[in-house]
């Protein structure tokens, strides 16, 4: 019987040593302290909890930092898209203003004082961009009277230029 008791004691000792060894290896692999034994005192439990708090906080901060970096990357992509869109609008506005500036005010005043039936054939002979710019600077009533006196094909071309200069560029998908 004594041999059986010694054998059981040795087996229990080996089992306890392997459990402690496994707990230590596991704790070292996870960089966290192993759980306190079941019969640990309150001080040991508090020590364990205080040892676990810092690594858990560090992991939480790391995850939050990674989330913030992802969000920052998304915001940077959106800012870049908005900058590109703003540049497109600035280019369009510059082209539109250059187009309107083709017709100097003194030239517009000349056509403003002409009768529509006299202005129409003269505008038909001028560069289409200049003619459209002049018509844009006249009042809508005067422009309409001049266009009604023009050749329909020429009037349609000028109307197309005027409408495309007044419209903003179409949005891209």
3-state secondary structure of 148: helix
**Cα–Cα distances in angstroms (integers) from residue 100 to residues 28, 120, 127, 134, in the given order:** 76, 19, 13, 8
14 part of a folded domain? no
Q: Are residues 157 and 106 in the same domain?
A: yes
User: For residue range 1-60, what is the model confidence (pLDDT) as tens digits?
Assistant: 555 556 655 665 455 444 444 444 454 445 555 555 666 677 777 777 777 777 878 889
pTM of the full structure:
0.43
**Cα–Cα distances in angstroms (integers) from residue 155 to residues 36, 48, 60, 140, 159, in the given order:** 92, 88, 70, 14, 6
Q: Are residues 157 and 121 in the same domain?
A: yes
Domain coverage including residue 122: 102-166
User: For residue range 98-113, what is the model confidence (pLDDT) as tens digits?
Assistant: 777 766 777 888 889 9
7 part of a folded domain? no
pLDDT at 98: 79
Q: Are residues 106 and 159 in the same domain?
A: yes
Short-list 74, 80, 88, CA closest to 171 = 88
């Amino acid at each position: 019987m004594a041999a059986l008791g010694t054998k059981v004691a040795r087996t229990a000792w080996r089992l306890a040593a392997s459990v402690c060894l496994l707990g230590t290896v596991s704790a070292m692999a996870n960089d966290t302290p192993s759980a306190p034994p079941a019969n640990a005192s309150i001080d040991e439990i508090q020590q364990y909890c205080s040892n676990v708090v810092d690594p858990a906080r560090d992991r939480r901060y790391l995850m939050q930092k990674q989330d913030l970096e992802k969000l920052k990357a998304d915001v940077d992509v959106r800012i870049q898209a908005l900058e590109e869109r703003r540049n497109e609008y600035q280019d369009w506005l510059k082209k539109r203003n250059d187009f309107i500036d083709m017709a100097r005010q003194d030239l517009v005043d000349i056509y403003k004082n002409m009768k529509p039936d006299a202005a129409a054939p003269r505008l038909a002979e001028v560069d289409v961009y200049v003619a459209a710019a002049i018509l844009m600077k006249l009042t809508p009533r005067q422009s309409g009277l001049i266009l009604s006196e023009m050749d329909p094909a020429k009037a349609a071309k000028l109307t197309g230029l005027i409408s495309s200069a007044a419209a903003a560029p179409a949005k891209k998908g």
